[in-house]
Amino acid sequence: MDEKQYLVDALSIDESWRIFRIMAEFVESIESLSKVKHAVTIFGSARLTAADPYYEKAEILARRLAEEGFGVITGGGPGIMEAANKGAAAAGGKSVGLNIHLPYEQKPNQYANISLDFKYFFVRKVMFVKYAVAYVIFPGGYGTMDELFEALTLIQTKRIRSFPVILVGRAYWQGLLDWVKKVMVKEGKIDAEDLGLLKITDDPEDAVRHIQKFVIL
């Protein structure tokens, strides 16, 4: 066997074993999260500090959700994720952190009482939506936008059950919503009724009440 063929065969074997690593992540995460009921997944920037007003709002929201009997799921890292895990844990609720291995920014926070580590983004994303009864989206970057629009796409196309998707931070999100309405809806890229998939608020209590309209514990 020449060197080139050896490398091709080695890569093929590695790809085959990757399937088993992916399966292992699915099995481990499903076993760990199967007892987490009525969870709200909270997204937002990893870059916000505890001094940011949105950090405080995320902590308050997660604490109130836990007090009302909801679990809280985050990406397990710093910023908004830390705030939400902290609030849920302080209220004695299930505080889940789904951490992803990244070369920067993402380090597990100390407040998740159920913590899982993921290598594969897509496995982690399945867990976010699989165990969620609602999404709450705080200001964030590309990753936050990705999760937001994926949820909207899955709901719009009826690939998953419809659930509340709440944007917290009118000053941050209003420009995006205006663009969606003035460009996407106007040009027929989405239907006007698709805007109804989103709720925007600045008040954590308002977010809790909205979720409770759709989810009866």
pLDDT exceeds cutoff 50 at 81: yes
pLDDT exceeds cutoff 60 at 193: yes
Spatial distance between the Cα atoms of 207 and 212, rounded to a whole number of angstroms: 9
- Domains along the sequence of the chain with CATH: 37-214 (3.40.50.450)
pLDDT of residue 22: 92
Provide the pairing of β-strand 132-137 with 165-168. Answer: parallel
pLDDT of residue 107: 80
pLDDT exceeds cutoff 60 at 10: no
Instruction: Read off the pLDDT of each residue in 86-100 and give the average, rounded to a whole number.
Output: 97
pLDDT of residue 14: 72
pLDDT exceeds cutoff 80 at 140: yes
| Residue written as token pair 């941050």 | 172
pLDDT of residue 192: 95
Q: What is the pLDDT of residues 106-133, one digit of tens each?
A: 688 999 999 999 999 999 999 999 999 9
Spatial distance between the Cα atoms of 23 and 160, rounded to a whole number of angstroms: 21
pLDDT of residue 35: 87
Instruction: Read off the pLDDT of each residue in 164-190 and give the average, rounded to a whole number.
Output: 97
The answer to whether residues 72 and 88 touch, using CB atoms and an 8 Å cutoff, is yes
The answer to whether residues 43 and 148 touch, using CB atoms and an 8 Å cutoff, is yes
> For residue 181, which amino acid is it?
K
Q: What is the DSSP letter of 1?
A: -
Whole-number percent of the chain with pLDDT over 70 = 92
- Which residues are CB-neighbours of 102 under 8 A, at least 6 positions away? none
Spatial distance between the Cα atoms of 186 and 126, rounded to a whole number of angstroms: 32
Nearest partner of 35 among 79, 78, 96, judged by Cα: 96
pLDDT of residue 12: 59
pLDDT exceeds cutoff 50 at 57: yes
Spatial distance between the Cα atoms of 62 and 72, rounded to a whole number of angstroms: 7
Tell me which H or E stretch contains 77: none
pLDDT exceeds cutoff 80 at 206: yes
Q: Which of 65-69, 98-102, 133-137, 209-213 has the lowest mean pLDDT?
A: 98-102
Q: What is the DSSP letter of 71?
A: E
**Torsions phi, psi for 175 (to 5 deg):** -60, -40
**Torsions phi, psi for 75 (to 5 deg):** -75, 0
pLDDT band at 102 (very low <50, low <70, confident <90, very high): confident
